[in-house]
Structure 1
Amino acid sequence: MQKPGKKLSFLIAGATVGALVLSGCSGAGSSGSGDSADNTITALMVGNPQMEDIQKLTADNFTKQTGITVKFTILPENELRDKVTQDVANQGGQYDVATVGAYEVPIWAKNGWLHELSTQANADSAYDTADLIKPMVQSVTGDDGKMYAAPFYGESSFLMYNKEMFEAKGLTMPEKPTWAQVAEFAQKLDDKKKGVAGICLRGLPGWGELFAPLTTVVNTYGGTWFEKDWTPKVDSPEFKEATNFYVNLVKQYGESGAPQAGFTECLNTFGQGKAAMWYDATSAAGTLEDPNASKVAGKVGYAYAPVNKTEYSGWLWTWAFAMPKTTKKADAAWKFISWATSKDYEQLVGKNLGWPRVPSGKRTSTYAIPEYKESAKAFADVTLGSIEHANPQNPGVQPRPALGVQFVGIPEFADLGTKVSQEVSAAIAGSTTVDKALADGQKLAEDVAKKYK
């Protein structure tokens, strides 16, 4: 069997497709690492709230303490994946630090594209690697048992719902809802005349956008991208049932503009009180509970990811800081990474920006901080429970040939997942059908399977 870590062309192709999906906006001071000053490093980050927070805090804290200036580039998720992949895979050397995820790290570590970080982390007793939550460490660990990125925050997925809207209709959300119950709630709560959707679900193309939540639905409906022997199952009855359910749910009771809605758009929609429910990343809760950023702070309930045939269905992910092998400023880069992923940084965020904004899900000690426990009491237990029950080895009802809950841990999945997502998004828009989308996806999956059988 061909080793998945060597399939560079497919990985780059997948990232390039992602770049076509959405144009980006960069943060202040975006620059390449051509800056030869030893005290300046460049960092490429995904444009999520936690990364925007660290950009705000770096100059007055990290730079003031170390003298190291950090020039940030912040991009939307799809464009971030494309840019970081092309830079790292092509040995471009533009960035000293980059945010990457649980999908990329094991593959890139195998290819020798990243610095291992275990040596520095273990040598620093204050960093306390033993405090890092094990599933998050495992997701950024290479075949050699070493850590190739440091988790900045960790997440699973869960269902968020507006308690006031539920109470107004006399509805009660179970701790572990089924998708059938969610659909019933969405129908009862949808009120387009008032500008309120029954549910917000990602419809934006991208393997890490639309197919992050959708693949968890496929898993719990009994479907899979590939069986253990690499038989592709994209057009199987179970995959079709799950996809039809998802597409119909968002078409009937979802947010307006769903084919262009990703994580950020749903965060804004739900946070503005424009949706009764939202199924997405557990990391969203911190922003939702911040009254400075959300109109629904204190009004949100949290339940486990909806299921059908499985007991749990939440995904497992971490956005982590990695150091490309091409950096010439490894010492300065590690100082930034260790600061950004430390216990002290969490205290800094809590005291300066508010405890709900702490980038959680990566350290056990976070859940012992009294102020954080109080601020996160609505969602902390469900978040930890979701992370602990996420099973990358066995996320569905059948054995899998590669690791991953919301993705398949092979380089080709970036291309495969993105192409199929484009057609599913088109089905949400009404310009094609789920059957056609998945029939085309099956052919693409068959091409991938030939390389592994």
Structure 2
Amino acid sequence: MSAMTKESQMRRVRDVRSASAQGSRSKVVALTGAGALLLAGCGGGDEQTAGDTLTIAVVDNGDLDTLQEMSEAFLAEHPDVEIEWVREGENELRETVTTDVGTGAGRFDVATVGTYEAQVWADQELLTPLTDMPEGFDASAFIPEVADALSHEGTLQAAPFYGESTFTMYRTDLLDEVGVEMSDRPTWDDVVAAATAIDEQTDTAGVCVRGKPGWGENTAVVTAMAHSYGARWYDPDWSPELDSDAWRQASETYLALAGMAPEGVADAGYTENLALFQDGECGIWVDATTAAHFVTDPDTSSVAKDVGFAFAPGTDAGRASNWLWAWALAIPASSEQPELAKEFITWATSEGYAELVAQEQGWAAVPAGNRTDLYENPDYTEAAPFADLALESIQTSQIAEPTTQPVPYIGMQYVDVPAFQSLGNAVGEQYSTAIEGELSLDEVLERSQWVADETIEQTRLLAEQDQD
């Protein structure tokens, strides 16, 4: 470490929290422009004038907050570098980064993206492949399933900062109170039954569930659930099937669970549900494996000693619903600081970074689901008793065959086509409105089927125009 003081390091970090502070932004993935990314080129961005300034866009959650705190160490090794952080919620970040990357504006040098963006944007040459990386970067150290999901044609497009699947988190004390035992591999019927018992027999809401609209919020949950019931978004000919019996069954389960959630469920995404579960406001929560540390940390969770874990629910005739996702660090093709960005990514995904977090916050706080060596470290596995279950959930996610029927796409909780961002957002709005009692399930399915059909037809048209 250099002799620089902490105060002088932090003067070189600028934090932009609110999207509203950035002024208005165009929406390149509005429903009427679902194929915009198909036509957007890499383009040259506006010239940067900040010198060695890295502008980094991150999703606003605990692991990425820690990255910002730990970045003091990176700055100490790079005394001529400044970092500007842009932190936003999932929906807002996706819109902001999609706009920047899709138009080639060049605002961001590093951006957190997911497995969806890594595949779709790489196909359009909107990202800088992670080749010719600095010494110390070892792609083989990443969990193979996660690295594969972030690669395009065998080349890594983004480095996993953390990876995740989903599993079932539940309150052991409440299940004991109502006399229900959670299976290690529950079905959705098991989850509904346990949530109902908690909801009816205790003062705690039965379940937490994402109701906030968004393709990465409530639509992700509905999609994973539908796939586990044997439903699919599209058949191999790209005909939508959101009005199928299997999709209806999954939707009935989802709305039943939402009916047992704490007040305000239609506005609750991952972050809000994490806080609710930590505060003891619900008995069961099926969501990201990365939440495990936060719900078992006695410094942040009032129920830390009473949390149990099981695999993500499925159905007897279908699949488990465990998805595969990673918040990964990517370099937009329009960045004017690609080499410095590569140095930052190498540092942030290294074994040394994990050791730094462990030293400052304990091993359980280390970003999980990215490096294989973390799960070979007894210090981590002892501090994180949920580690093996989380890793197995990641390794067994069937994203290439998400349902029992053949599909033309990849993804357990999404469909890997550019138009899915706008499509997923539109469908999510329908389900959120249904939770609030303003739409019937029949109306949700009818509208979602129409949107899915219109979106894919528009995508085909735009693709044909692009080829011409």
The TM-score normalised by the length of structure 1 is: 0.89
Query: How many Å apart are 1:37 and its aligned residue?
Result: 4.0
Q: What are the within-5 Å matches in structure 2 for residues 197-212 of structure 1?
A: 197-212=205-220
Q: 2 CA distance for matches of 1:225 and 1:372?
A: 38
Task: Confirm or deny: 8 A CA contact 1:15 1:414 kept in the other structure.
Answer: no
- Give the counterpart letter for 1:348 in structure 2: L
1:316 pairs with one of 300, 304, 324: 324
Q: What are the within-5 Å matches in structure 2 for residues 74-93 of structure 1?
A: 74-93=87-106
Query: How many Å apart are 1:33 and its aligned residue?
Result: 9.2
Task: Confirm or deny: 8 A CA contact 2:236 2:406 kept in the other structure.
Answer: yes
Task: Look up the SS of the partner of 1:224 in the other structure.
Answer: coil
Within the alignment, does 1:415 sit opposite 2:422 as a pair?
Answer: yes
Tell me the equivalent position of 1:190.
199
- Give the counterpart letter for 1:257 in structure 2: G
- Give the counterpart letter for 2:238 in structure 1: W
Q: 2 CA distance for matches of 1:79 and 1:36?
A: 26
Deviation per CA, 1:163-200: give whole Å up to 9, x if none.
12122223211100011111110111116973x21010
Tell me the equivalent position of 1:50.
63
Within the alignment, does 1:434 sit opposite 2:451 as a pair?
Answer: no
Tell me the equivalent position of 1:65.
77
| The 10-residue stretch of structure 1 (177-186 or 67-76) with the greater mean CA deviation from structure 2 | 67-76
Q: 1 CA distance for matches of 2:274 and 2:310?
A: 17
Distance 1:287 1:104, change over 3 A: same
Tell me the equivalent position of 1:403.
410
Within the alignment, does 1:128 sit opposite 2:145 as a pair?
Answer: no
Which ranges in structure 2 are unaligned for 5 or more consecutive residues?
Answer: 1-25, 35-44, 462-468
Distance 1:268 1:211, change over 3 A: same
Task: Confirm or deny: 8 A CA contact 2:220 2:414 kept in the other structure.
Answer: yes
Tell me the equivalent position of 1:281.
288
Task: Confirm or deny: 8 A CA contact 2:230 2:319 kept in the other structure.
Answer: no
1:38 pairs with one of 37, 42, 51: 51
Deviation per CA, 1:257-306: give whole Å up to 9, x if none.
11000000100000111111001011111211222221122321111111
Q: 1 CA distance for matches of 2:166 and 2:97?
A: 24
Q: 2 CA distance for matches of 1:388 and 1:158?
A: 13
2:223 pairs with one of 204, 212, 215: 215
Q: 1 CA distance for matches of 2:207 and 2:170?
A: 9
Tell me the equivalent position of 2:335.
327
Q: What are the within-5 Å matches in structure 2 for residues 54-453 of structure 1?
A: 54-59=67-72, 61-67=73-79, 68-120=81-133, 124=135, 126-143=136-153, 145-190=154-199, 194=203, 196-251=204-259, 253-308=260-315, 309-377=317-385, 379-450=386-457, 451-452=459-460
Q: 2 CA distance for matches of 1:118 and 1:244?
A: 46
Query: How many Å apart are 1:12 and its aligned residue?
Result: 2.3
How big is the alpha-carbon RMSD for the aligned residues of Structure 1 and Structure 2? 2.1
- Give the counterpart letter for 1:178 in structure 2: T
Q: 1 CA distance for matches of 2:86 and 2:68?
A: 10
Task: Confirm or deny: 8 A CA contact 2:399 2:411 kept in the other structure.
Answer: yes
- Percent identity between the two aligned chains: 37
Distance 1:11 1:238, change over 3 A: farther
Q: 2 CA distance for matches of 1:264 and 1:16?
A: 29
Distance 1:276 1:101, change over 3 A: same
Alignment size in residue pairs? 423
Query: How many Å apart are 1:63 and its aligned residue?
Result: 0.5
Q: 1 CA distance for matches of 2:209 and 2:394?
A: 20
- Give the counterpart letter for 2:245 in structure 1: P
Query: How many Å apart are 1:452 and its aligned residue?
Result: 5.0
Q: 2 CA distance for matches of 1:15 and 1:428?
A: 25
